[in-house]
Amino acid sequence: MEVQFRTSKLRKQYEDHQKAERAYGISIGRRYIARINIIKLAHDIDELRRMPGLRCHALEGKRQGQHALNLDGFYRLIFTLVDERCEIVCIEEVSKHYDD
């Protein structure tokens, strides 16, 4: 899948592990980069949903149309599907699960 980023800050955090670790802490920063690498290797959203540790799922309510991947117990990576074939995703944010 192709990955886009909503902000240049999110892209820079992916490209520079030190920026990701500074923003989210060492563990979450590393998982942020690793999850994006997994997304890049996946063929479609169904493949992400079948990977057990990711807990990939569609969001509801005010986040309808977005999906989330687990980073740890509290943090998740939020993304949207950009195209109808589900081949391009846009990384929206890293958020605390109960913070939005």
DSSP structure string for 16-33 = -HHHHHHHH-HHHHHHHH
Domain count, the chain: 1
Q: Which residues pair with 91 in a beta bridge?
A: 5, 79
10-residue mean pLDDT series, the chain (100 residues) = 94 96 95 95 91 91 91 91 80 76
How far is Cα 84 from Cα 13, in angstroms, rounded to an integer?
A: 27
Residue 52: per-residue pLDDT: 86
| pLDDT at res. 28 | 94
Query: Residue 46 sits in a domain of what CATH number?
Result: 3.30.2310.20
Query: What range does the domain containing 75 cover?
Result: 2-96
